[in-house]
Amino acid sequence: AVIETKAPNGGAFHPKTWLLRFVPEDGKEPVRYRFLCLSRNLTFDRSWDTALTLDGDLVDRQNAFGRNHPLSEFIAALPGMATEPVPPKAKEHVDLLADEVLRVRFEVPGDGDRFRDEERDDLAFVPMGIGRRARPDLASAKRLLIVSPFLSDGWLRDGVRGGFPRETTLVSRADSLDALKDSTYRALADAGTRLFAFSEVAETAEGDEEHGTEVVPAADRLSGLHAKLYAVEQGWSGVQLWTGSANATEAAFDGRNVEFMVGLRWLCKKKGIETLLGTPQAEGTARRNGAAALADLLVPYERIYREEDPAVAARRRLEQDLDATRSALCEAELQLAASPSADGFWEVRLQLSGEMSIPETVRGGCLPVSLGANECSELAPLLTGHELVFPAVPTYCLTRFIGFRLTASAGDETMRTAFV
């Protein structure tokens, strides 16, 4: 079941989580669960991401594990975010998962006792934007590492004023750092924050990859940094590592977005951030184990003050036009109707309630995702109140999913996007 959702507080529905339930064939072993907390979406992107895997058995006990309550509440809250009634079978599955996960004894990742602490809880589930005001605790840091592809000026300025320690390291994408206001950049620099960007080598994705019958051009796949990671170094008590979906933005941390983060306590007694980043490889030398360190992919960031490239400014405006059009279509009152036209075939009609305007730079088309690209219809008639008709659709191609392809052009610059 694919169920459309809407964040209750007006932001984005942004978590990247999986919860899988495994039942033994012989019935003798316990039911087993796997929970994944990712920064990666369901895409073919070649970006740098984080993935956390937690496995555990369903334990025969009356009382829940206290640390699992936030995870259970998150799962149980999902049907309430649906934009339409949830199918009964899907609701039944969700209820079962939300109930059983309370009694799952999750194991923290291996690597000896690296993430185990007998004196403190070594695992924390933190859903954000579902009514709970919980969020990762960054204010307790004596030293702090922030890895986030996207940034907001307000969140960073608030952090500098109210919580970031003097020894803070921020890793982001070069374009995100470039987009910060000068006042934010100066505040970070004055606070002693170390700024790093991914190197061009780490940002580059070369060639095409084939996925089934679809070839995804490199230009249409996200590359570079997409991981969200926060390392809160607390002196001799170790490091609290947070990973998941939340970017270093106000929308993520103020409860507007729905996000999910998991915290692990890492028993690194000192220099935990340096251990996490690693030591950059000296030029002309080879690593003993052949593995690269995160530091090998980073370059110190310094702002270069120069006039903005007109082409860069044009692409930014086109990207904004595409985002505005996509948001408007996703929020539009689209109606889909099918009526039989011949034996085994249907006439499918797509209509928009009222009219809708989009930026003059944007053109596009749409079609049911089960049809071939040659059956794509121009978007313009739909926006002016006319029906788009897809005749002779086979029964096995009936679908509620409509794919849109948008192109924004101005002068010599062109940008494209596609969504469902």
* DSSP 8-state class, residue 248: B
* pLDDT for residue 213: 40
* pLDDT for residue 233: 87
Name, in order, each residue with C-beta under 8 angstroms of 33's C-beta and a sequence gap of 6 or more.
19, 20, 21, 22, 55, 56, 57, 58, 100, 101, 104, 106
Q: Confirm if 350 and 387 have CB atoms less than 8 A apart.
A: yes
Q: Report the Cα–Cα distance between both ends of the chain, in Å, rounded.
A: 15
Percentages helix, strand, coil for the chain (3-state, rounded to 5) are 25, 30, 40
Q: Confirm if 106 and 100 have CB atoms less than 8 A apart.
A: no
* Full pLDDT tens readout for the chain, 420 residues: 899 999 999 899 999 999 999 999 988 899 999 999 999 998 888 889 999 999 999 998 889 999 999 999 999 999 999 998 999 999 999 999 999 999 999 998 765 445 554 445 689 999 999 986 788 988 888 899 999 999 999 999 999 988 788 889 999 999 899 999 999 999 999 999 999 998 876 665 444 444 444 444 444 455 789 999 999 987 766 788 999 999 999 999 999 999 999 999 877 655 678 888 887 665 555 555 556 788 888 999 988 876 767 888 898 899 999 999 998 998 888 999 999 998 889 999 999 988 888 999 999 999 999 999 999 999 999 999 899 999 999 999 999 999 999 999 999 999 999 999
203 SS3 class: helix
Ordered DSSP codes for 3-20? --B--TTSS-B---EEEE
* pLDDT for residue 112: 46
φ/ψ of residue 70, rounded to 5 = -60, -35
pTM for the full predicted model: 0.85
Q: Confirm if 203 and 27 have CB atoms less than 8 A apart.
A: no
